[in-house]
């Protein structure tokens, strides 16, 4: 049994065959008011999540989702905190308020993200900087090195973290960052120190406003680029947010530390392995 398998068995030791790993656990989901994040909230409560902070800039939909959850699962189970993940103070306050309300944190899903090359500096602040900030805050609140009990951090990349897309080069770069960053956290050094498992989720095209509005948000000044993007995204197999949420629950059950998962086209989520450098030498790849 590998080191990570044995550690995962320990992480899994609290759950029986029928029980999902999230059962009884408390989470924070960023960008949780709409789209994929909101589907995660609903799916994980269905799987037995004990409590969750939903944080988002969208107060109206965030409050409404928390209210719906509380009606179904009991008052206080879901807490909405308005937060802008690009703002350091705001993100820190989310963790402080979460701690005051729940006194426990087991799972952080860094999900908030945008596909907007037109405002690329803001996009980098959210997709890249906030992912790092969220990860560091997750370690501060869950890390065994800080008196916590360990846990799981899921960072959100994309299939565009694993391939190219001419229509949105900057977004594609931000998601490559998430893959490289999270797999570099998901190893023995960081696990021994913090007791935290790091997973990367790479959604394929999932029907939300991020996809349906994408064409409007390409770099300014390049005629035809919007169509290049919509054709590129349109060539990928689509799925619903609920399809992807099913995949998230699966990886919380099964994902080993450092693993990278692709959920696309409404098929069961699958793990990918990044090849070693010498296996992708151009000379040998061209010969394939
Ligand atoms: N939809 C897809 O096809 C797809 C594919 C791959 C990856 N992803 C990733 O999945 C994640 C969720 O995407 P989605 O499709 O659900 O998008 P969405 O636009 O439907 O939802 C994003 C949510 O994030 C919130 N948000 C935006 N800026 C924020 C900020 N600064 N602070 C806090 N919250 C903020 C929005 O209010 C919204 O509720 C993103 O990281 C995205 O890059 C989506």
C-alpha separations of 46 from 23, 108, 170, 206, 245 in Å: 9, 17, 36, 21, 11
Of the pLDDT bands very low, low, confident and very high (cuts 50, 70, 90), residue 287 is: low
Mean pLDDT estimate for the chain: 94
Q: Which single residue is written with the structure tokens 């069961």?
A: 268
Mean pLDDT of 160-174: 98
Q: Which single residue is written with the structure tokens 């909101």?
A: 38
Task: Measure 268 CA to ligand 1 centroid, in angstroms.
Answer: 21
For residues 66 and 32, is the Cβ–Cβ distance under 8 A? no
Q: Can you give 181-195 as a three-state secondary structure string?
A: HHHHHCCHHHHHHHC
For a pocket test of ligand 1, which of 55, 82, 88, 114 has the largest count of ligand atoms closer than 8 A to its C-beta?
114
Position 210 pLDDT exceeds 60: yes
Residue 185 tokens, joined: 């956290």
**What is the C-alpha to C-alpha distance for residues 238 and 246, in angstroms, rounded to an integer?**
15
Position 67 pLDDT exceeds 60: yes
Position 189 pLDDT exceeds 90: yes
CATH topology of domain 3-271: Rossmann fold (3.40.50)
**What is the C-alpha to C-alpha distance for residues 166 and 169, in angstroms, rounded to an integer?**
6
pLDDT at 18: 73
Task: Measure 284 CA to ligand 1 centroid, in angstroms.
Answer: 38
Task: Measure 184 CA to ligand 1 centroid, in angstroms.
Answer: 23
Position 105 pLDDT exceeds 70: yes
Task: Measure 114 CA to ligand 1 centroid, in angstroms.
Answer: 5
Atom 7 in ligand 1: which residue has the minimum CA distance?
Answer: 158
Torsion of CA 159, 160, 165, 169, to 10 degrees: 170
Q: Which atom of ligand 1 is nearest to the CA of 205?
A: 3
**What is the C-alpha to C-alpha distance for residues 40 and 260, in angstroms, rounded to an integer?**
18
Q: Which atom of ligand 1 is nearest to the CA of 159?
A: 6
* Number of alpha carbons in the 13 Å side-chain half-sphere of residue 213: 10
Position 185 pLDDT exceeds 50: yes
Of the pLDDT bands very low, low, confident and very high (cuts 50, 70, 90), residue 158 is: very high
Query: How many CB atoms within 10 Å of residue 136?
Result: 12
Question: What are the CB-based long-range contacts (under 8 Å, 24+) for 78-81?
Answer: 78/41, 78/45, 78/51, 78/52, 78/53, 78/54, 79/51, 79/52, 79/53, 79/54, 80/33, 80/53, 80/54, 80/55, 80/56, 81/53, 81/54, 81/55
Position 176 pLDDT exceeds 80: yes
Of the pLDDT bands very low, low, confident and very high (cuts 50, 70, 90), residue 17 is: low
Mean pLDDT of 142-146: 98
For residues 237 and 266, is the Cβ–Cβ distance under 8 A? yes
pLDDT in tens, 81-97: 999 999 999 999 999 99
Active-site residue flag, 141: no
Alpha helices in 217-261 (DSSP H): 225-234, 241-254
Q: Which atom of ligand 1 is nearest to the CA of 32?
A: 39
pLDDT at 183: 98
Atom 36 in ligand 1: which residue has the minimum CA distance?
Answer: 31
Position 196 pLDDT exceeds 90: yes
For residues 81 and 54, is the Cβ–Cβ distance under 8 A? yes
pLDDT in tens, 221-263: 999 999 999 999 999 999 999 999 999 999 999 999 999 999 9
pLDDT at 8: 43
- Domain ranges within the chain, ordered by starting residue: 3-271
Residue 228 tokens, joined: 């290049």
pLDDT at 7: 43
Mean pLDDT of 259-278: 97
Question: What are the CB-based long-range contacts (under 8 Å, 24+) for 229-232?
Answer: 229/165, 229/166, 229/167, 229/168, 230/167, 231/167, 232/165, 232/166, 232/167, 232/168
Atom 43 in ligand 1: which residue has the minimum CA distance?
Answer: 113
Identify any residues that bridge with 24 across adjacent strands, giving them in sequence order.
none
Residues in contact with ligand 1 (CB, 6 Å cut-off): 30-31, 33-37, 56-58, 83-86, 111-115, 126, 156, 158, 203, 205-206, 208-211
User: Model-level pTM greater than 0.75?
Assistant: yes
Residue 71 tokens, joined: 């009606």
């Amino acid at each position: 049994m590998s080191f990570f398998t044995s550690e995962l068995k320990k992480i899994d030791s609290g759950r029986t065959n029928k029980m999902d790993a999230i059962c009884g656990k408390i989470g924070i989901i960023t960008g949780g008011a709409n789209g994929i994040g909101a589907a995660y909230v609903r799916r994980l409560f269905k799987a037995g999540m004990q409590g969750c902070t939903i944080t988002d800039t969208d107060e109206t939909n965030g409050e409404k989702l928390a209210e719906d959850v509380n009606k179904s699962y009991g008052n206080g189970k879901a807490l909405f905190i308005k937060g802008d993940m690009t703002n350091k103070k705001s993100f820190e306050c989310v963790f402080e308020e979460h701690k005051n309300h729940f006194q426990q944190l087991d799972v952080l899903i860094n999900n908030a993200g945008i596909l907007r090359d037109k405002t690329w500096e803001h996009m980098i602040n959210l997709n890249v900087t906030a992912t790092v900030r969220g990860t560091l805050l997750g370690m501060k609140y869950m890390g065994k090195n800080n008196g916590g009990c360990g846990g799981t951090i899921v960072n959100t990349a994309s299939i565009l973290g694993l391939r190219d897309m001419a229509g949105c080069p900057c977004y594609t770069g931000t998601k490559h960052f998430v893959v490289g960053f999270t797999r570099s956290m998901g190893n023995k050094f960081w696990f021994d120190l913090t007791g935290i498992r790091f997973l990367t989720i790479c959604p394929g095209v999932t029907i939300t406003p991020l996809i349906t509005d994408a064409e409007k948000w390409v770099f300014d000044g390049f005629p035809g680029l919007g169509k290049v993007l919509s054709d590129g995204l349109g060539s990928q197999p689509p799925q619903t947010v609920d399809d992807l949420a099913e995949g998230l629950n699966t990886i919380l059950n099964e994902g080993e530390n450092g693993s990278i998962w692709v959920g696309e086209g409404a098929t069961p989520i699958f793990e990918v392995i990044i090849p070693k450098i010498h296996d992708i030498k151009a000379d040998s790849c061209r010969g394939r």
